[in-house]
Amino acid sequence: MMKYKLKSSYMADLDNMKKYIVILPSLAIAFFIHHWMNNLIISILWTFAVYIEGVSVLPQLRLMQNVKIIEPFAAHYVFALGVSRFFSCAHWIIKVYDTAGSYLSLSGGGFLWIPMIILAEIVQTLVLADFCYYYVKSVMQGQMMIRLPA
């Protein structure tokens, strides 16, 4: 079923976020931040993957926001993704803290990519934090379906 859309439950009219809104800014930032490093193509592709991961959940969250009711299996997955992103963000911040900030200048090809990775992690954590708040609120109220506000 992963190869085909579930026509019985797919709501094309509510799935209205264009992919280029997520892809093009991530690619542009990856190019402008890393175009001067040694392994140009590898560096840009790796950075693009990090940035696209940071915002890849936006179309799913937009669809959930349009639907207003999220089924439990999707809600559990997005909540787990939010917790995972929080720990990943914490990992990078602790890494910088443990090295008293010297980790920020250890990049070999420049100093800007590590702060940008941390920024991408923070962005993804903040994007998912709102959903995680409503998830925890619904679970605490004993609701099986997650209802997002209007």
Between the alpha carbon of residue 27 and those of residues 1, 58, 65, the distances in Å are 30, 16, 26
Mean pLDDT of 74-78: 83
Q: Picking from 68-82, 87-101, 106-120, 133-147, which range would have the lowest pLDDT averaged per residue?
A: 106-120
Query: What gap in Å lies between CA 138 and CA 136, rounded to an integer?
Result: 5
Mean pLDDT of 73-98: 85
Extract the tokens encoding 53: 């991961």
Q: What is the pLDDT of residue 54?
A: 76
With bands split at pLDDT 50, 70 and 90, how would you rate the model's confidence at 105?
low
Using N-to-C axis directions, what is the helix angle for 72-98 and 58-67, rounded to 10°?
140
